[in-house]
Amino acid sequence: MSNLESFRKETRDWLEANCPASMRQPMKDEKDVCWGGKKFEFANDDQKLWLDRMAEKGWTAPQWPVEYGGGGLSSDEAQILKEEMKAINARDPLTSFGIWMLGPALLKYGSEEQKKHYLPQITRGEIRWCQGYSEPGAGSDLASLRTKGVDKGDYYEVTGQKVWTSYADKADWIFALVRTEPDKPKHEGISFLLIDMESDGVTTKPIKLISGKSPFCETFFDEVKVPKANLIGTAGKGWDIAKYLLSHERTNIVGAGGMAAGLNPVGAAHKSGEVDDKGRIADPMLRADVARLTIDALAFEATMRRVKDESDAGQGVGARASMLKYIGTELNKRRHELNLSAMGADGLLWEGPDPSDGGPARDWLRSRANSIEGGTSEIQLNILAKRVLNLPGA
Amino acid sequence: MSNLESFRKETRDWLEANCPASMRQPMKDEKDVCWGGKKFEFANDDQKLWLDRMAEKGWTAPQWPVEYGGGGLSSDEAQILKEEMKAINARDPLTSFGIWMLGPALLKYGSEEQKKHYLPQITRGEIRWCQGYSEPGAGSDLASLRTKGVDKGDYYEVTGQKVWTSYADKADWIFALVRTEPDKPKHEGISFLLIDMESDGVTTKPIKLISGKSPFCETFFDEVKVPKANLIGTAGKGWDIAKYLLSHERTNIVGAGGMAAGLNPVGAAHKSGEVDDKGRIADPMLRADVARLTIDALAFEATMRRVKDESDAGQGVGARASMLKYIGTELNKRRHELNLSAMGADGLLWEGPDPSDGGPARDWLRSRANSIEGGTSEIQLNILAKRVLNLPGA
Amino acid sequence: MSFVLTEEEQMLRDSAKDFLAAKSPVSELRRLRDEGCKDGFRHAVWRGMAEMGWNGIVVEEDFGGVDMGFTAAGVLLREMGRTLAATPFIPSAILSATLLRLAGSDAQKGEHLPKIAGGEAVYAFAFDEKARHDPGTIDTRATKDGNGFRLNGSKRFVACGNGADMLIVAARLEDDSLGFFLVDPKADGVTKTMRRTVDSHVPADIDFKDVKLDGDAMLSGGADGQATFDHVLDVGRACLAAEQLGTAEEAFDRTLSYLKDRSQFGQPIGSFQSLQHRAAHMLGEIELAHSLVMKALRTLDENPSQAPLWIAAAKAKATEVSRHVTGEAIQMHGGIGMTDEHEIGFFFKRARAAGEFMGDERFNAERVATTTGF
Amino acid sequence: MSFVLTEEEQMLRDSAKDFLAAKSPVSELRRLRDEGCKDGFRHAVWRGMAEMGWNGIVVEEDFGGVDMGFTAAGVLLREMGRTLAATPFIPSAILSATLLRLAGSDAQKGEHLPKIAGGEAVYAFAFDEKARHDPGTIDTRATKDGNGFRLNGSKRFVACGNGADMLIVAARLEDDSLGFFLVDPKADGVTKTMRRTVDSHVPADIDFKDVKLDGDAMLSGGADGQATFDHVLDVGRACLAAEQLGTAEEAFDRTLSYLKDRSQFGQPIGSFQSLQHRAAHMLGEIELAHSLVMKALRTLDENPSQAPLWIAAAKAKATEVSRHVTGEAIQMHGGIGMTDEHEIGFFFKRARAAGEFMGDERFNAERVATTTGF
């Protein structure tokens, strides 16, 4: 038996023995997602047990080094773990911005001491993180941020406002970009700081979207004291870390776009009874538009696969994340438009007796943000024009 | 009887008495178009007779002043003349770049002597003119032209190359933009010169397009002597005249786009037998595309009418010519695409036993130039963004 | 036929602008929504519109109207589209009034039209029975019962159906022809289910179970029911297209302002050429929709037999353009446009909903094809 | 299934690039056109391709082929699409070879496949009978006549039909099933009408009037004629989509170069953001088409029963994208792109014609809908 085969067997046995039965059921609602953190209320004991057991193995962050609370797995082993978890429908033990956003930055830019301190808290789900990049007025021009951190010797005094800080009201700490050297050019002079949300002077306010309630908040800093020990990397070099993290975020939004592939205007047409006796969408023009959408959806699916294959083989175009983000989010918007068209007025419902009423319209509205968040479509096109096509600057 | 009513009656009587019967037939081919000029061979005596009689009345340029060979008609009278000619299917007695391009520029910018000299030659169809603006490499950036006219005292010595000079091989004279003051900024230092095509050093070469033969030529000037008397307006101020004339050209291309409204993909589908038993286009997706084209064609037709009504009432948006040019030419390209699709492989024929073989494909190819000539679609969008929407410069 | 507004129509437009800015700006729609208003409109605004004479814009003077025609109605709706005024104007003052005018007996007109024109009562026209507009499907039945009728069937998404004082219901008679019945929404057997839609409007699904109607409940002054129905819907589509045009225009104007005001990378975002070209393209699309809307309304006034083609084209184009422009508006506003706090999202929502009502772009493009003969 | 080319396929691509650059650049198509070539291809180039082993790319080794599969064929076609190589490759080496392979008896394979693979003879497959591709309409009839057949009917726009040495004709038998017949174009009763199309290809309309055929003219080794026909067309579509992809890619590359080289208003036109965004959008569209083409070809090689959906999607998308990109290429080249002297117009023309052959974007989108079940 090869090493990988024996790893698969051991993993399977361990999961079988340790994953509680209730954690092998599909999630029913938002509460079933385990975010961890100090304020988190576990939905039940199994949810906590499952987190603790997985964290113990380091498998909440399977590929992170063991010394920082990770599993130390190779990429092949991590893939096997994923497959075996999927085979028994095991839930993710922990959903965490700490793992998929802050962690990679800490691993790359953090000091040994910082890694030792923060990473295990993340893998054990003890500290919940949120992200503080964007500011009102900054938008796509992220580097124009104005939240300032005044050097006060052993700490920075941080004052300003962040926006689009997801779950800031539920997070324990925030990783934030702060302008610490105001006289430098705009991409310099920015530092990457870790800030305790319980510090004096931090407040949050939820943001309501056109689609309704959202996890987004505004976060305000009023003369917040941040110890210099909480600076990651070099002072004034936070922009490099931000760029590194943004590529992670972009990839994630592409994934979100892909998820909506389950959304099917054909199904909507069937549900609204708008099909002919052969099961075809009765409106020939809607059918044509859905056919064209289907072709692009198939093409996108194939492109995701191809990009992966090429990437594994060290081939392919650059700035793939920008390309996939642009195509995937624009496709997703079209999909939602057609879904509503297939539903007719039923798709316009905002709320109603049926709990699912309003869902399609709110999802449609939410989809519009896909081509804005994580870098607008326009920014992605700029990136492709410059980095892939090498077109000259204006 | 009002003045206009009596004018209508007189006009009707005169046309009845003077328009030869053969000039009331639809034109059969290119030869039936009367261009005039020294090299022109009249298709028959009636063509010449009709030109001479109309020129005698000044009705080849009905609204020009009588002293320059025009008809001196008011705009209402000119409209009546047009209607009465249409009522008996009278052919245009003269098709002339002199009338619809050079004439307006001469009337506005020419000296009294120049008007007296050139305009009557134009209205009588004695001199055929062509236009010399564009140069290889200049393109949309027309003012970057390099044909130079060196000041030699009482004449300019002109050397350079013009492109897209329609019918230059058949014209007697050319009106051309020439850089006479090379040290001035690019929009200054350009002069508007009239040049005899029989001058030493002028040669032409026809341009073949992707659609086949074309009226366009390249025109070369090699140390051509152009008397200063042939300068229109002020030396170095030719760009103003050019801008004035370009708006005329733009309007004309819109008209050309409108002409293709006769082109009907529905008819093509019927001809190729691709209709169902109810006479509907059988391919539902093609039918959908044609329906959407039809809506935009109706909208364009209504917009042409609305712009005219608003213009008469002194209302409406500015830069109308740019808007209509952009919309009309892009619509025309779509129309030709759908026409070919409705024809299937028949639409691909380049030549064949039937004289009409190749027509649809060549027209389709020719339509692609509509959104390039007379200012590209991109230039029109720039103009709209700046002049109508008042968006700021980059 | 002139594409230019008459002096009278221009005055009407100017007074509409003033009234709506004062009484029914976009913030008013937000208030209606946040208050959970069940009627979907503000009665005070509706009465104010009646005082301006708007509610009788297509009602004869004999019945209390000003009878200015559909182009004038479109002038009002274009301004209402700009402020997203949620009112019973189309259901009551356009659809119900036109239906009564065409199909009502003198007595019925005398009773009901002055109420509509005077804003005393709100009328709603109940016709759709499916989630997608399909005027060919009317299965609601009115069967003879003594001197009167029994009404059975279900209507869906009746515009202003929750707040209406009186319903006019399209139903099939025993010979399968179409009839129109005045029904009190409080009558026995009428069940309303309030629906809140994405645009903060409040239509209703309405069931009719053995509803007993008097003999004079049926509109009895008109000719062919189907022809009347087709025409009334077309009138509604032309007017709604005018409202959609106004919505597109206002969203576009607001976006243009934003493009000029908002800076990124040290310059106004309106200086970026790709946004400039998209804005210029939108200008052209709005101009096309504008022309079709004007043509449809004028033709309805001056040469109604030629109107169906132009109305179908206008509703299709206004739907497409208003959805496109409001979608671009959201995108160009960026993150701020996604927040409920900003008003631009209301335009995007309304464009979607108005596009669906009485047939979307595809439904009307299909009619263009059929009417043109292919 | 891997989206990455094997080492063997990469080598094939590299040698194809070299060969085509030397022997069949775009200027060669211009020469063929200007010479008025009646075959529509250069025999020397065709023989060269045979020597490279290309003509037997999907022919078994027993019959003189190299049998590398459809993905490999697609690799060649993508490069041919880049240089607009006008050859009988699809008609002869793909359609006819696949048809013989599937439906030919051992004797027929032994006789004909080596000729195809060796480039000794050019075969054409005659199937369409209307100007628009419609594989459901085959009215050409083969009726029994003694031990042989009589063939009657008309085929339209047979690719390479004018230059072919041998035809394979799809015809209905007396029981309405489909059969395939080897027909010598010089036989009595066969009338060819040469057609020149906009892309400088030379198909032919071919009439068959009481053409007498031997009994062994019918391909007799295969199973169901309809299934064979459907599959052969799908093979052709997948391969043609690869060619269309290459055409789009090359037109795009040339346009990018032009955007970098050409200056207007004192700067390269590629620095204008609206052109940059349109170019970046095209990049994405080409990548999408690329993925579908690879997926269709690999699926054809590895899991053919799943291929029809992917092939329909690939042909639809490659048609749409190649037409869009070559149209943008003309526009971005401006006036120079409209001249016959410049090569970019050849790409625009070929994209149009290739898009039509074996079903355009709409035909294949319809098949995607049907195959997907809506």
Pick the residue from chain A with its C-alpha nearest to C198: A350
Which ipTM value was assigned to this complex? Answer: 0.94
pLDDT tens-digit series, residues A155-178? 999 999 999 999 999 999 999 999
Pick the residue from chain A with its C-alpha nearest to B283: A284
d(CA C236, CA C100): 14
Q: Determine contact, residues B264/B336, Cβ cutoff 8 Å.
A: no
For all residues of chain C together, what is the average pLDDT? Answer: 97
Catalytic option among B5, B67, B249, B378: B249
Mean pLDDT of C219-233: 93
Q: In this structure, how many other beta carbons lie within 10 angstroms of the beta carbon of residue C213?
A: 22
Taking CB atoms and an 8 Å limit, are C3 and B309 in contact across chains? yes
Residues A266 and A367 in one domain: yes
d(CA B235, CA A29): 79
Q: What is the pLDDT of residue A256?
A: 46
Using the 8-state DSSP alphabet, how is residue A100 labeled? Answer: I
Residues A329 and A281 in one domain: yes
Pick the residue from chain A with its C-alpha nearest to B289: A285
**Amino acid, single-letter form, for residue A121:** Q
Q: What is the pLDDT of residue D88?
A: 97
C 199-218 near A (Cβ less than 8 A): 199-200, 203
pLDDT tens-digit series, residues C102-150? 999 999 999 999 999 999 999 999 999 999 999 999 999 999 999 999 9
Pick the residue from chain D with its C-alpha nearest to C275: D274
pLDDT at C33 > cutoff 80: yes
Q: What is the pLDDT of residue A223?
A: 97
Compute the nearest-CA separation of B268 from chain C (Å). Answer: 11
Which run of H or of E encompasses C168?
strand C166-172
Of D197, D327, D336, Cβ closest to residue B350: D197
pLDDT at C174 > cutoff 90: yes
- Token pair of A355 as six digits: 């709990």
Instruction: Find the range with the poorest average confidence among A255-264, A316-325, C175-184, D301-310.
Output: A255-264
Q: What is the pLDDT of residue A264?
A: 80
pLDDT tens-digit series, residues A216-253? 999 999 999 999 999 999 999 999 998 888 776 665 55
Assign residue B209 a region (left: φ > 0; alpha: ψ between -120 and 50; beta: otherwise): beta
Number of CB pairs, chain A paired with chain D, less than 8 A apart: 129
Taking CB atoms and an 8 Å limit, are D4 and A269 in contact across chains? no
Residues of B in contact with D198 (CB under 8 A): 348-350, 361, 365
CATH of domain D225-372: 1.20.140.10
Taking CB atoms and an 8 Å limit, are A139 and C352 in contact across chains? no
Give me the number of domains chain B comprises.
3
A 252-281 near D (Cβ less than 8 A): 266, 269, 275, 279-281
pLDDT tens-digit series, residues A111-131? 999 999 999 999 999 999 999
Please report whether residue A269 resides in a domain: yes
Q: Please list the ranges in chain D whose pLDDT falls under 50.
A: none
Residues A288 and A361 in one domain: yes
- Mutation choice for A interface testing from D249, D264, D286, D292 by most A CBs within 10 A: D292
Compute the nearest-CA separation of B277 from chain D (Å). Answer: 16
Residues of A in contact with B291 (CB under 8 A): 285
pLDDT at B68 > cutoff 60: yes
Of C132, C200, C365, Cβ closest to residue A285: C365
Residues A47 and A86 in one domain: yes
Residue B39: which domain range? Answer: 3-95
Please report whether residue B393 resides in a domain: no
Q: What is the pLDDT of residue B256?
A: 47
d(CA A67, CA A123): 11
Residues B299 and B362 in one domain: yes
> What pTM, to 2 d.p., does this model score?
0.94
Of B266, B296, B382, Cβ closest to residue C374: B266
Q: Please name the residue that has the structure tokens 């624009």.
A: A330
d(CA A299, CA A306): 10
- Token pair of D355 as six digits: 């898009």
Residues of B in contact with A288 (CB under 8 A): 284-285, 288
pLDDT at B245 > cutoff 80: yes
Q: What is the pLDDT of residue B29?
A: 85
Taking CB atoms and an 8 Å limit, are B287 and A291 in contact across chains? no
Taking CB atoms and an 8 Å limit, are A291 and D365 in contact across chains? yes
State yes or no: is A112 an active-site residue. no
Residues B232 and B341 in one domain: no
Taking CB atoms and an 8 Å limit, are C365 and A210 in contact across chains? no
d(CA D149, CA D92): 24
Taking CB atoms and an 8 Å limit, are A306 and D294 in contact across chains? yes
Compute the nearest-CA separation of C3 from chain B (Å). Answer: 5
Residues A85 and A168 in one domain: no
Domain ranges of chain C: 7-121, 125-217, 225-372
Taking CB atoms and an 8 Å limit, are C277 and D276 in contact across chains? no
Compute the nearest-CA separation of B30 from chain A (Å). Answer: 42
Taking CB atoms and an 8 Å limit, are A350 and C200 in contact across chains? yes
**What is the CATH classification number for the domain harbouring B278?**
1.20.140.10
**Amino acid, single-letter form, for residue B51:** L
- D73, D68, D72: which is closest to D92 by C-alpha? D73
> Counting Cβ atoms within 10 Å, is residue C107 exposed (0-12), middle (13-18) or buried (19+)?
exposed
Measured at the CA of A336, the angle between CA C352 and CA D277, to 5 degrees, comes to 95
Pick the residue from chain D with its C-alpha nearest to C276: D274
Q: What is the pLDDT of residue B259?
A: 46
Q: What is the pLDDT of residue B257?
A: 47
Residues B15 and B72 in one domain: yes
Q: Which CATH architecture has domain D7-121?
A: Orthogonal Bundle (1.10)
- D342, D337, C275, D349: which is closest to B347 by C-alpha? D349
Distances (CA, A) of D342 to A89, B209, D30, D59: 60, 9, 11, 38
D 302-321 near A (Cβ less than 8 A): 309-310, 313, 316-317
B345 inside 8 A of chain A by CB: no
pLDDT tens-digit series, residues A302-324? 999 999 899 888 887 668 889 99
Please report whether residue A101 resides in a domain: no
Q: In this structure, how many other beta carbons lie within 10 angstroms of the beta carbon of residue C27?
A: 12
Instruction: Find the range with the poorest average confidence among A56-65, B59-68, C218-227, D297-306.
Output: C218-227
Q: Determine contact, residues B253/B101, Cβ cutoff 8 Å.
A: no
Residues B86 and B141 in one domain: no
pLDDT at B178 > cutoff 90: yes
pLDDT bracket for residue B249 (50, 70, 90): low
Mean pLDDT of C30-49: 96
Please report whether residue A161 resides in a domain: yes
Residues B75 and B31 in one domain: yes
Of B299, B315, B326, Cβ closest to residue C317: B299
Distances (CA, A) of B123 to B50, B61, B102, C168, D286: 13, 6, 11, 68, 54
What is the fold of C125-217? Butyryl-CoA Dehydrogenase, subunit A; domain 2 (2.40.110)
Please report whether residue B250 resides in a domain: no
Mean pLDDT of B235-262: 71
- Token pair of B366 as six digits: 């020719």
Compute the nearest-CA separation of B149 from chain D (Å). Answer: 22
Residues A270 and A219 in one domain: no
Domain boundary among A72, A95, A118: A95
H-type helices in chain A, by residue range? 3-18, 45-57, 75-87, 97, 103-109, 112-123, 238-259, 265-271, 284-312, 320-343, 359-367, 377-383
Taking CB atoms and an 8 Å limit, are C365 and B310 in contact across chains? no
Please report whether residue B117 resides in a domain: no
Give chains near A: 3+ CB pairs under 8 A. B, C, D
